[in-house]
Chain A
Amino acid sequence: MVQDKTIGNRIFDTVNYTLLLLIALLCVMPFIYVLAVSFTSPAEVAKGGLILWPKEWSLASYRYIFSTNTLVRSMLVSIYITVLGTLINLIFTSLMAYPLAKTHLRGRQTILLAVLFTMLFGGGMIPTYFVVKALHLTNTLWSLMIPGAISAFNLIVLKNFFQQIPDGLEDSARIDGCNEVGVLFRIVLPLSLPAMATFGLFYAVGHWNQFFNAILYINDNTKWPIQVLLREVVILASSSIGDSTIDSTEIQPLTIRMAVIVFATIPILLVYPFLQKHFAKGVMLGSVKG
């Protein structure tokens, strides 16, 4: 790519780079704080203030959380429902989004309107539970994957992405004798990798952060994902949304809470850099078309 070397462009680039660097640093600050506190000794945390670099390093918090018997297991549960759940999401969502992207499809508007309606109105916790129970999904990990198989939001936005793919590409596949399922999997999905990466990320994060449904649908606590544990340690410790019957002496120290946050967040943070390369796939479009 040829750089335009005018002065205006240079100024623009300098400002742009500097600004983005600043924004990036500002954004990472809270996480550095969390990270730093998790490695700091409780005594230093008691002094207060914003800690961005521990003065006395301490691994006590991590030693503590690794000594718990639930952490590793619930982490594995989380990984399982995130990977399998996201796969189910992507298949179901793209299967439905693709036909809806075809403007000539009869009944399409009605279906889209019906989908949109579910974004605004819902039956609530109890009726949904009865459905999950009637399908014998309660107490299984499926209850954390199937009831949220399609997000109406993601469906509508993905449909919009599909609509932008030039028809010509799909037609050439049809001429080759593919049916619509084939077109979706052979042409549309490979061309929509950025979108797939995006919605995969959205879904994965959603699965990773699940805790409430796990408590509602699963009685067997060996099947709880990590976020249930995380909420217990972190959220309850905040007295703001809490219960006055909890004795403050029984609250875990800040350092341990932060260590749990780090431990539970890093895996999902790592997903993004892996997806990143797909966001640069725009280059391909031209060559396929040509």
Chain B
Amino acid sequence: MKQEMYAPAGTPVANARAGKSKIGYLIKDIVRDKWLYLMLLPGIFYFIIFKYIPMYGVTMAFQDYKPYLGFFESPWVGFKHFERFFSEPQFGMLFRNTVILAMYNLLFFFPLPIVLSLMMNELRHAKFKNFVQTLVYIPHFVSWVVVVGIFYILFTTENGILNEILYQITGQKIAFLLEAEWFRTMIISQSIWKEVGWGTVIFLAALAGVDLQQYEAARIDGAGRWRQLWHITLPAIRSTIIILFILRLGNFMDSGFEHIYLMLTPTNREVGDVFDTYVYTIGMTQAQYSYSAAVGIFKSVIGLILVLGANWLAKKFGEEGIY
């Protein structure tokens, strides 16, 4: 149908195109899509001005950047900062901790908003649905300081509410907040508590796009709830899930600094110290802008590889992917 719109087969336009060179096609297409290109312009300008012009700041990672010298006079040091970073004794530990936490996040956190929005999608009472939606997205607005504070009140061994209950039942307390083996569980559950509801918003929007007639047709065919979910609902939001998954991989190495930092103690540092907290520690005594930038580039390169890889895979399986 689209083909018809732009160049109906057998018309003079299409015939004329057949004889033209590649550049001719290109010009032809651009002229045809002039409105689309025009619409792109503000966005392209935006990205050039606000994202690509400042991009020279990346060079900081290859300099000994000093604010008073600026980008043009700070001395160049090549890969010095990267060499230091890779040869740090903690590098292995930081890398492992960051990756494990990221995997946990993808495995346990990422699917939950989808599940939750599917559950909400099954609600028949609009009022109740609205009520649940409004409440679950509230924790997103509570800052990490407050969330961690509330977890402290609940989980500490000194009169923490949950530990008191645990003590009544088992006669023992568990130092959830101190023991290294509980660290990741705590981090992930806090993330879930704070962000799962917020994560549903985008899926609910995707679900709103599902054509209700399809459900009716399916019901007439005798499809039950599960089959409707499997054959109509999930396919409808599949591409959104894939896009979000791929984009999430871009931030794979970001662990959420403030959150981790608030939960980090000497007793769990061996599993809790990640690149983000490391950069903070480094930056605290000295403004090691260049070194921090080098770590940032390392994280981004990994993110880029993951995104491109995942996108390639998605396309291989016939999905649209990001581009």
B15 on interface, CB distance cutoff 8 Å: no
Other-chain residue from A24, A124, A198 in contact with B135 (beta carbon distance below 8 A): A24
How many cross-chain pairs have Cβ atoms below 8 Å apart between A and B?
A: 277
Complex interface: chain A residues within 8 A of B212 (CB): 282-283, 285-286
Residues 90-139 of A contacting B (Cβ, < 8 Å): 92-93, 95-96, 98-100, 102, 104-106, 108-109, 111-124, 126-128, 130-131, 135
Residue from A12, A25, A240, A272 whose CB has the most chain B CB atoms within 10 Å: A240
Say yes or no: B320 contacts A285, CB within 8 Å.
no
Q: Give bound CA distance, A281 to B143, whole Å.
A: 32
Q: Shortest CB–CB separation between residue B40 and chain A, in angstroms?
A: 5
Q: Give bound CA distance, A286 to B67, whole Å.
A: 59
Complex interface: chain B residues within 8 A of A127 (CB): 53-57, 71
Say yes or no: A194 contacts B209, CB within 8 Å.
yes
B9 on interface, CB distance cutoff 8 Å: no
Q: How many residues on the A side are at the interface (Cβ–Cβ under 8 A)?
A: 109
Q: Give bound CA distance, A184 to B116, whole Å.
A: 32
Complex interface: chain B residues within 8 A of A6 (CB): 224
Residue from B29, B50, B130 whose CB has the most chain A CB atoms within 10 Å: B50
Say yes or no: A157 contacts B247, CB within 8 Å.
yes
With contact pairs A16-B123, A128-B54, A157-B202 given, residues A181 and B247 touching in the complex (Cβ less than 8 Å): no
Taking Cβ atoms with an 8 Å cutoff, the residues of A that contact B are 1-4, 6, 8-9, 12-13, 16-17, 19-21, 23-31, 33-34, 48-50, 92-93, 95-96, 98-100, 102, 104-106, 108-109, 111-124, 126-128, 130-131, 135, 146-147, 149-150, 153, 155-157, 160-161, 163-164, 167-168, 171, 174, 179-181, 184, 194-195, 197-198, 201-202, 205, 234-235, 238, 240-241, 261, 265, 268-269, 272-273, 276, 278-283, 285-286, 289
Taking Cβ atoms with an 8 Å cutoff, the residues of B that contact A are 1-2, 5-6, 26, 29-30, 33, 35-40, 42-44, 46-47, 49-58, 60, 67, 71, 116, 119-120, 122-124, 126, 128, 130-143, 145-147, 150, 153-154, 159, 161, 193, 197, 201-202, 204-213, 219, 224-225, 239-240, 243-244, 247, 250, 258, 261-262, 293, 297, 300, 303-304, 307, 320, 322-323
A-B contact pairs, 17 of them (CB 8 A): A96-B42, A126-B67, A127-B55, A128-B57, A157-B243, A163-B320, A174-B5, A181-B38, A184-B39, A198-B201, A201-B201, A234-B143, A234-B145, A272-B137, A276-B134, A282-B211, A289-B211
Closest 8 CB pairs of A and B: A96-B43, A123-B57, A123-B54, A112-B323, A127-B54, A180-B35, A194-B208, A99-B36
